[in-house]
Structure 1
Amino acid sequence: MPFWLAVFLAFILGGLLGSIPFGLLLTRAAGLGDIRAIGSGNIGATNVLRTGNKALAAATLLLDGLKGAAAVWIAAAWLGPQGGAVAGLAAIGAVLGHCHPPWLGGRGGKGVATALGAFLALGWPIFLTAAAVWLLVAKLTRISSAGGMAGMLAAILPAAWIGGAPLATPVAAIALYVVSRHRANIERLLAGTEPRIGQGKNPGKERRP
């Protein structure tokens, strides 16, 4: 298979898997309506948690992470030796698919859970570093967005350590893109108005970046 075709297929595969809106599907199946009508309006686990259903939020987190990991694993298995070389493109595709699902008019989540799943498939030290920093910062600050952004940026160092530039480049691209999706959160963090974990079920509609 030509290398350019392997790259294209890996990216498309990642985008298709990433675009599955598990948060929206699960909340609708549970009779909670459209998750986009509450809180931040996005389809990720943090917003699902604002419904008050912790089990549903955990399931969304797991499934959003799984689709990121699956994109990398399937690309590597399906495309053979070329799959490993373009796994980073599959990971990028999955995150972009989650953030901009075509079925929802391109209005998706912010990509943290999907990125973490992709990091797990790209290399467990990347995942462990990102997850540990995310949980630690979130616990200390009680602010989910701060933990997510810190975890994304922390992932770049172990990626560079275990895989050099070929691995660090897609990980850095994912990390920086996910952080850029948090522009509104950054503004509220600087203003001291960012909602803390457990602060109400519906703290008011925010505009997504």
Structure 2
Amino acid sequence: MVFWTASVVGLAFAYLFGSIPTGYLAGRLLRGIDIREHGSRSTGTANVLRTLGKGPALVVLLVDVLKGAVAIVLALWFYPWLVETPYVEHFDEIDPEIWLPWAICLAGLAVMLGHSRSIWLNFAGGKAAATGLGVLLALSWPAGVAAVAVFGAVLTLTRIVSLAAMLAALTAIVLVFALEEPLPYCLLVLAGGLYVVVHHRASIRRLLAGTEPHLGQHVR
């Protein structure tokens, strides 16, 4: 019982860690505004850039990426410790080699869910792209670096942040399968990448209508 309780507590921590509303806090601390009432009404980096400027946006981006990476690093430490510690009862049928990758991936999903559905913001938040990147870099850095490269290239060519983020997410999905990463990691990136794309559905509608704002422009 203690083993499973501790496992759930680990996931709850990942969710709460992801729930730290970086963009919202930046708006409150720097300008005394609720960023959800401006621009795209998201707390993500793109809306912070439009509303607060480059400096705050860079800080928010780095913190959000770190949230994802740190959550995975902590999970990589916590769950093996939980299996090995003599202070928690275990079950003979638990195979750490099978169970641990799935537990770590659940932590990745939890931190992304926390970012996009923050308990502190009435379950609103960002689109999980930056936090998802942090998760990806911690699990498969080659795929993460390639996703960043795709994001940078698309952003340079189109100046459309949402398009760059979605193509980077889809690239990450293809790459983790191509690199033959462990199945749990592949499924995590598949779910996380599609989660990011789904959260950009308003941007998809604007892209199809030709009204999606370019970098630095305001959402109409």
Q: TM-score by structure 1 length?
A: 0.89
Aligned to 1:207: none
Question: 1:105 aligned to 2:122?
Answer: yes
Larger Rg: 2
**1:32 positional shift:** 4.5
Aligned to 2:89: none
Note the alpha carbon deviations across 1:101-151, whole angstroms, 9 max, x for none: 011111111111000011111110121121111111111111000000000
Measured in 2, the distance between the counterparts of 1:164 and 1:94 equals 20
Gaps of 5+ in 1: 205-209
**1:165 positional shift:** 2.0
- Change in Cα spacing, 1:84 to 1:168, as seen in structure 2 (3 Å) is closer
Question: 1:92 aligned to 2:109?
Answer: yes
Contact persistence 2:22–2:64 (CA under 8 A): yes
| Number of positions where the alignment pairs a residue of Structure 1 with one of Structure 2 | 202
Contact persistence 1:153–1:175 (CA under 8 A): yes
Contact persistence 2:15–2:114 (CA under 8 A): yes
**1:31 positional shift:** 2.3
Contact persistence 1:11–1:92 (CA under 8 A): no
Aligned to 2:200: 182
- Percent identity for Structure 1 against Structure 2: 43
Question: 1:72 aligned to 2:72?
Answer: yes
Gaps of 5+ in 2: 84-95
**1:78 positional shift:** 1.4
Contact persistence 1:88–1:122 (CA under 8 A): no
Q: Secondary structure at the match of 1:198?
A: coil
Q: Secondary structure at the match of 1:50?
A: helix
Q: Give the aligned residue type for 1:175.
A: G
- Change in Cα spacing, 1:166 to 1:3, as seen in structure 2 (3 Å) is farther
- Change in Cα spacing, 1:26 to 1:169, as seen in structure 2 (3 Å) is same
Measured in 1, the distance between the counterparts of 2:176 and 2:9 equals 23
Question: 1:168 aligned to 2:186?
Answer: yes
Q: TM-score by structure 2 length?
A: 0.85
**1:27 positional shift:** 2.0
Q: 1:41-56 residue pairs with structure 2 within 5 A? A: 41-56=41-56
**1:34 positional shift:** 1.3
Q: Give the aligned residue type for 1:173.
A: A
Aligned to 1:143: 160
Contact persistence 2:101–2:184 (CA under 8 A): no
Q: Secondary structure at the match of 2:31?
A: coil
Measured in 1, the distance between the counterparts of 2:48 and 2:130 equals 13
Q: Give the aligned residue type for 2:113.
A: L
Measured in 2, the distance between the counterparts of 1:203 and 1:182 equals 13
* CA-atom RMSD in angstroms: 1.9
Contact persistence 1:69–1:117 (CA under 8 A): yes
Aligned to 2:137: 120
Q: Give the aligned residue type for 2:190.
A: A
**1:86 positional shift:** 1.9
